[in-house]
Structure 1
Amino acid sequence: MRSICFYFQVHQPFRLRTYRFFDIGDSHDYFDEFQNRSIVKRVTERSYLPMNNLLLGLIKEYGAAFRVSFSISGIALDQFEMYAPEALASFKKLAATGNVEFLAETYAHSLVALKNPEEFKYQVQKHADRIEKLFGVRPTAFRNTELIYSDQIGSMVYDMGFNVMLTEGAKHILGWKSPNFLYCSGSNPKLKLLLRNYQLSDDIAFRFSNQSWIEWPLTAEKFSKWINDFDKNQSVVNI
């Protein structure tokens, strides 16, 4: 049976305020408190709470047959605690079902893996510690910022104790190969790689509401047919 792996990315940056030349040396208040608070509360009300309630209902309806994963940046968790504790509570409800996996990532949603291995390890461990403290389970799977991967990064990830890593099913890398298989790291075959099917993912993320798209409207029946039309040997679809 083909598995469909849903992973949801949650990130909110700390937004900077307008910092003028004459503020230098006089003011050390760099962040836009009003923007950070209002945006996080608005997105919580319009997106996080409705979606998490929907997922909770599906878990109750289908039990072990329905599972999802989340990658929530550390600074998003910080802002939930500061501005929208109800959002954090909704993620804890999902965690309590046992049907939701929380992935590790860099704490600040940074690109540090490309530059500083020691800082990369520090940020990942800090994030894993935070996830374990909040949700009671330590992550065993890893998602790098923007799904960036190299065999060198894969080696660092495996050495930190992770056995699965998510990455991009990039066409220019895969060539004729399909992302709908379980792959292994070239530097360490013990590290399993799940490749995002960018075509199907982007159909939902970017083209779903585009009325000029040739496939609009995207219905559940149409989307499931696309998945079922894959060769039967393509055993996993990561979205």
Structure 2
Amino acid sequence: NEVDLINFSQGYHEDLEKTYFNDGLNSLVFNRTANNCYFPATEIILSNIEKLKKSDRPFKVSFSMSGTFLDQCLMFRPDLIDLFKRLYDTGCVELLGETYYHSLASLYENRDEFETQVMMHSDKIKEIFGTRPTTFRNTELLYNNAIAREVYDMGFKAILTEGLQHVLKWRSPDYVYRAKGSDIKVLLRNYGVSDEIGYRFTHKLITADLFASWLSKITGETCNIFVDYETFGEHQWRDTGILEFLRHLPEAILKYENLIFATPGQVADVCPANDEIDVFEYSTISWADLERDSSAWLGNDAQKSAYGIIKDMETMVKQINDEKFLRIWRNLQTSDHLYFMCNKWLGDGDVHGYFSHYSSIWRAIGNLFMILHDFQKALGYKLAELNKR
């Protein structure tokens, strides 16, 4: 939300959440995306699953839904939760674990917040769907050895990340690997194949049959296709044919005897780890931008400064131990706030600009720092109040 500075002369403002976060804009964007993508794409997937459920090669998918997304579903479109429940109840869908607030908490030196958000997310999935995730997808596929080790220690059997050539060297992303320093299995996104749908669909006029023919020629044990769900009807509009592509894709794939569908958890169960993946902590990778590292969120001084301020609030926020203040702080950790502040050029800059509701990165930078300044003061007033008691 774009806000004016709050006057703290009379103490901290009582409506911080309403001041900082624009539920009106959130509702508008969420409902538009739900109508363009979430409902039609999910109904198509459900129809395909039901059509092929009794075949010897059923259609299977996985979803990664942040806690923030689920909260907005319950707030703005609870009927969407009902549709996702129907989808999960088919037995052909895996729900992945992640951070509740789609945050960068996995990069904090103190990993307590990361673990807390992952467990919060697992609890939310259990509350709504009656299951707990066993495969992990970190925010924007952020990954390094330390993250993998932490996720393994939390009980996950597999983790997804980007299949980058400089990490793989001569190896293929179409196999299962093991993380250096732990026994968690690593499933790699085949970005060449995935980005044909996510970014190049309209430029190449890709049909379901053409895409399936590409998959049939891949050598390896698994081809992990992972895209933004909003690709289907929002980023790629309905009139591009993307929803019809989704409708016809399963049957087009099943024309090839060497192809079947499997969820990430099933792949991890069936396929042994072929080799070790080594990503040092200071060489964190992701699926974002051409660099595919953390620079989409931490690439300039303003982003690094805001990230540091948010991270350093942890001690005071947890000392206050107030549910509202914790929720505000965690919503401020959502990676989008830093993503909107990115000042890259050319293709990456266009992508960042497409996703942002701000007219410029300077509006995004000024707005976030204004809110952080206000929230720091609010925390100070709240802590002073508690110390007087």
Q: Give TM-score scaled by structure 2 length.
A: 0.54
Structure 2 residue aligned with 1:162? 156
User: Which whole-Å CA distance do the structure 2 matches of 1:217 and 1:141 have between them?
Assistant: 33
Counterpart among 16, 20, 34 of residue 4 in structure 2: 20
1:57 to 14, 22, 47: 47
Structure 2 CA distance, aligned partners of 1:33 and 1:138?
29
Q: Deviations over 1:54-90 (max 9, x none)?
A: 0110111111621110000000001110011121111
Secondary structure of 1:127's match?
A: helix
User: What are the residue-to-residue correspondences of 1:134-213 with 2, within 5 Å?
Assistant: 134-189=128-183, 191-210=184-203
Q: Give unmatched runs, 5+ long, in structure 1.
A: 1-16, 211-215
- Gap runs ≥5 in structure 2: 226-389
Structure-to-structure mapping, 1:33-52, within 5 angstroms: 33-52=23-42
Aligned counterpart in structure 2 of residue 237 of structure 1, from 223, 232, 245: 223
1:218 aligned residue: 206
Shift of 1:24: 4.1
Distance 1:156 1:48 in 2: 32
Q: Partners of 2:149 and 2:75 in 1: how far apart?
A: 35
Offset of residue 178 of structure 1? 0.8
Asked if residue 32 in structure 1 is aligned to residue 18 in structure 2, the reply is no
Higher helix share: 2
Q: Distance in 2 between matches of 1:172 and 1:119?
A: 30
Offset at residue 172 of structure 1 (A): 1.9
Q: 1:165 is aligned with what amino acid? A: I
**One-letter amino acid matched to 1:237:** C
Query: What is the match of residue 111 of structure 1?
Result: 104
211, 216, 219: which one aligns with 1:228: 216
Q: Matched residues in 2 for 1:156 and 1:49: separation?
A: 35
Map Cα deviations across residues 114-156 of structure 1 (whole Å, 9 max, x no partner). Answer: 1131110000000001001100111111000111111111111
Identify the residue that residue 91 of structure 1 maps to in structure 2: 84
Structure 1: how far apart are the matches of 2:167 and 2:149? 19
What letter matches 1:65 in structure 2? P
Q: Which amino acid aligns with 1:217?
A: L
The CA distance in 1 between the partners of 2:7 and 2:75, in whole Å, is 27
Matching residue of 2:64: 71
Counterpart CA distance in 2 for 1:126 and 1:88 is 18
CA distance in 1, matches of 2:106, 2:47: 37
Deviation at 1:177, TM superposition (A): 1.2
Q: Output the CA distance in 1 between the equivalents of 2:95 and 2:84.
A: 10
Distance 1:182 1:125, change over 3 A: same
Distance 1:226 1:124 in 2: 36
Whole-angstrom CA distance in 1 between matches of 2:209 and 2:45: 19
Identity %: 42
Q: Does residue 122 of structure 2 align to residue 128 of structure 1?
A: yes
Task: Give the residue type in structure 1 aligned to 2:223.
Answer: V
